[in-house]
Structure 1
Amino acid sequence: MRILIPYIFLLIASQVSAQSDEKQIKKTSQVSLEGMLGISVGNDFYAVNVGGPLLFLVVNENVKFGVGALPSIYLLNGKLGARLGVSPRIDFKNIALIAPFYHRDTTGEWIWSVGMG
């Protein structure tokens, strides 16, 4: 009898395994990466923007509205710098309309620009 116990256990385990395989539901998952490279211009201000973290409201497959952060390299009054901008964003198909704004700590002013990505 002691010799039969492992075989009985294997037989039961194989039956449970076979039944659980039949009941599995197929799940689909999708992994994607979304990004944006844009250029924006303002009053004596030019920036190259990269789409950062965004919060979107998806209207349909072609239109999205959102707001997000834009890591940017900018040229202001002939001086090059890097700054994190914040921007509302409207996406239509593969075009992103952006209006990034940046805060300058030294002067306390806000720099606005508009662009496309």
Structure 2
Amino acid sequence: MISRMGWSRLAEAYAATEAPAAVYRQTLTYLRIGVAKYNNAARMGITPEGLHLSTWKIFFVGHPPLFIPWSAFGLVQEETFLWVKTYTTHISCPSGAVRFQFTSDQLRAALSTPLGAPR
């Protein structure tokens, strides 16, 4: 049910096999896709071509691995509340843009590099 609020919409366009073994994957401590929260339940892998996302095996039903090219990401907005920076962008897909919110500085930097289409 949770996946229908964002992840499944992204999967329509960006479902993929698991991230390549050579890709370093890191857990996202804060991730919101649409209205669903994936705090500490999703892992990312950053490549020059785009972002690999997957969930822990326990959440695999309804959550296929995703590969989202950098070109699908919109502008990134930064918000600071108390001491925490949160980044918000939208990912384009056939059913309309999906809100994507995170706190990873590493992902933010990847979205700002020339390989990740300047934001």
User: TM-score by structure 1 length?
Assistant: 0.30
More strand by share: 1
More helix by share: 2
User: TM-score by structure 2 length?
Assistant: 0.30
Kindly indicate whether structure 1 or structure 2 has the higher relative contact order, using CA contacts under 8 Å at least 6 residues apart.
2
